[in-house]
């Protein structure tokens, strides 16, 4: 590799990796990496990494990655927040002991048939 190619490669690497945040959460680790395109637009990669063992007991890491582009930031954040709000509404901030189906049934089972009869009156 020529000096020019090495320099361009280093510039590209510096440009690619703008910011990184690691979040360790139990058996999983999440990586939030802000990167730059050739046109200097930012995008986010979210990587979930989990240590798993093969049949021989040898560890390896299973990774799943999402690429999130700037034009989708608002919609992604809105969808994420809606899902979190739903979980909090059903489960509350704490007390995740109920099974999901029971919690959903409890939350939506308060409809009274008498209320439906009175709607048109």
Domains of the chain in sequence order: 3-112 (3.10.450.700)
- Mean pLDDT (the chain, rounded): 79
Q: What is the pTM of this model?
A: 0.61
The alpha-helical segments, DSSP class H, found in the chain are 3-16, 73-91, 100-108, 113-117
Q: Determine the pLDDT at residue 20.
A: 96
DSSP state of 31: E
Pick the more confident residue, 54 or 11: 54
Query: Model confidence over 52-106: pLDDT tens digits?
Result: 999 999 989 999 999 999 999 999 999 999 999 998 888 876 555 555 555 555 5
Has residue 35 got a pLDDT over 60?
A: yes
Report the pLDDT value the prediction gives residue 10, as an integer from 0 to 100.
47
CA angle at 20 for the pair 15 and 25, rounded to the nearest 5° = 160
């Amino acid at each position: 590799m020529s000096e020019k190619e090495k320099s361009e490669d280093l510039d590209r690497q510096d440009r690619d990796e703008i910011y990184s945040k690691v979040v360790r959460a139990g058996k999983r680790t999440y990586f939030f990496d802000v990167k730059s395109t050739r046109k200097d637009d930012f995008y986010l990669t979210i990587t979930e990494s989990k240590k798993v063992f093969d049949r021989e007991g040898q560890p390896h890491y299973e990774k799943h990655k999402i690429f999130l582009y700037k034009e989708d930031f608002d919609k992604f954040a809105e969808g994420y927040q809606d899902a979190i709000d739903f979980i909090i509404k059903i489960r509350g901030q704490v007390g995740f002991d109920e099974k999901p189906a029971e919690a959903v049934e409890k939350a939506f089972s308060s409809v009274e048939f008498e209320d439906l009869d009175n709607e048109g009156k």
